[in-house]
Amino acid sequence: MARNKIALIGSGMIGGTLAHLAGLKELGDIVLFDIADGIPQGKGLDIAQSSPVEGFNANLTGASDYSAIEGADVCIVTAGVARKPGMSRDDLLGINLKVMEQVGAGIKKYAPNAFVICITNPLDAMVWALQKFSGLPKNMVVGMAGVLDSARFRLFLSQEFNVSVQDVTAFVLGGHGDTMVPLARYSTIGGIPLTDLVKMGWVTKERLEEIIQRTRDGGAEIVGLLKTGSAYYAPAASAIEMAESFLKDKKRVLPCAAHLTGQYGVKDMYVGVPTIIGAGGVERIIEVEFNKAEQEAFEKSVASVAGLCEACVAIAPSLK
């Protein structure tokens, strides 16, 4: 059986980390693509030279011509610019929308059967635009945000309770970052919902709220520390988990920015929801019941994503 082909569109901090992880996990042959000629070739060669040491088999190549992604099974898109201190994700919209137009055209021409994972910010609007620009089936184009947001929440909870990260599950919905909606009653420690842990006296409601706020600000905390860019190890690991679920038909239940067609009362928008990812792409969207507070938080998050999509249409009317 031929190896899978993974195309990484954007070979910056996340793109390079994606290539390294995909190699270590032997997910397939890897093509790094970037407009900055030399970077994808250099990173590809460097990672390939680690393969004899690590003992993995994968061809790694770099390119600045879209024909190199031909026939890719998975495309992971990080092309664009990342945040610097003082910038919000939304400040990136104008620049990155133009990048999505080029990337969409490249994928449409050379990898129309791929499962496409978008990471470029502002995520929920960029994945929506990328699907439209590429014309690929909506279930084959998703955004990575929920896996990262929930990983951050899981880490902070494991530290708070002094338990293994493996035993913490987190359920987050809505747009990426500032308006994400963590559902405490569906987030658990060893199956025990956080709401029960509050009743059991393990944590106060106020402390839990602080942890949730730190999760929402998780990206900004790292931007503030790095000063020259944004997070890349955890975002790359999160997208690789999604790619692996598709390539191995694992049917993982993962929160992703998925195209909604009426679920949760939302139509033709990408919003973070729990999904099942398998060989068919997004095979199912899981709809849960909200209480009043959750419904309000979700609506606020959807409204902010809708605002970003409108801003995209103002720049590129063909998206309407």
Look at residues 85, 88, 110 and name the one whose alpha carbon lies nearest to residue 224: 85
Q: CB within 8 A of 314, min separation 6: which ones?
A: none
Structure tokens at 159: 């530290």
Provide the 10 A C-beta neighbour count for residue 62: 25
CB contact at 8 A, 238 and 245: no
Look at residues 52, 17, 15 and name the one whose alpha carbon lies nearest to residue 33: 15
CB contact at 8 A, 58 and 49: no
Q: Which is nearer to ligand A3D, 11 or 203 (CB)?
A: 11
Nearest approach, Cβ of residue 286 and ligand A3D (Å): 20
Stretch that binds ligand A3D, among 8-16, 67-75, 153-161, 208-216 (CB under 6 A): 8-16
Provide the 10 A C-beta neighbour count for residue 242: 25
Burial of 11 (0-12, 13-18, 19+ CB in 10 A): buried
Is residue 82 involved in binding ligand A3D (CB under 6 A)? yes
- Out of 20, 152, 176, 216, the only residue in the binding site for ligand A3D (CB under 6 A) is 176
Q: How far apart, in whole angstroms, are the C-alpha atoms of residue 82 and residue 148? A: 16
Residue of closest CB approach to ligand A3D: 12
DSSP state of 211: H
List beta partners, residue 62.
32
Q: Which is nearer to ligand A3D, 96 or 187 (CB)?
A: 96
Provide the 10 A C-beta neighbour count for residue 57: 10
259 as an active site residue: the answer is no
Q: Which is nearer to ligand A3D, 88 or 169 (CB)?
A: 88
Structure tokens at 273: 């929801």
Is residue 99 involved in binding ligand A3D (CB under 6 A)? yes
Is residue 102 involved in binding ligand A3D (CB under 6 A)? yes
* Catalytic residue (one of 5, 132, 154, 176): 176
Is residue 13 involved in binding ligand A3D (CB under 6 A)? yes
Q: How far apart, in whole angstroms, are the C-alpha atoms of residue 79 and residue 96? A: 8
Is residue 18 involved in binding ligand A3D (CB under 6 A)? no
Is residue 220 involved in binding ligand A3D (CB under 6 A)? no
Stretch that binds ligand A3D, among 43-51, 65-73, 81-89, 307-315 (CB under 6 A): 81-89
Nearest approach, Cβ of residue 81 and ligand A3D (Å): 6
Site string for ligand A3D, 39-78 (x = CB under 6 A): x--------------------------------------x
Is residue 79 involved in binding ligand A3D (CB under 6 A)? yes
CB contact at 8 A, 166 and 309: no
Feature table: binding site: 10-15, 34, 83, 89, 96, 119-121, 152
* Contact residues for ligand A3D, defined by CB under 6 A: 9-15, 34-36, 39, 78-83, 92, 96, 99, 102, 119-121, 123, 144-145, 148, 176, 229-232, 235
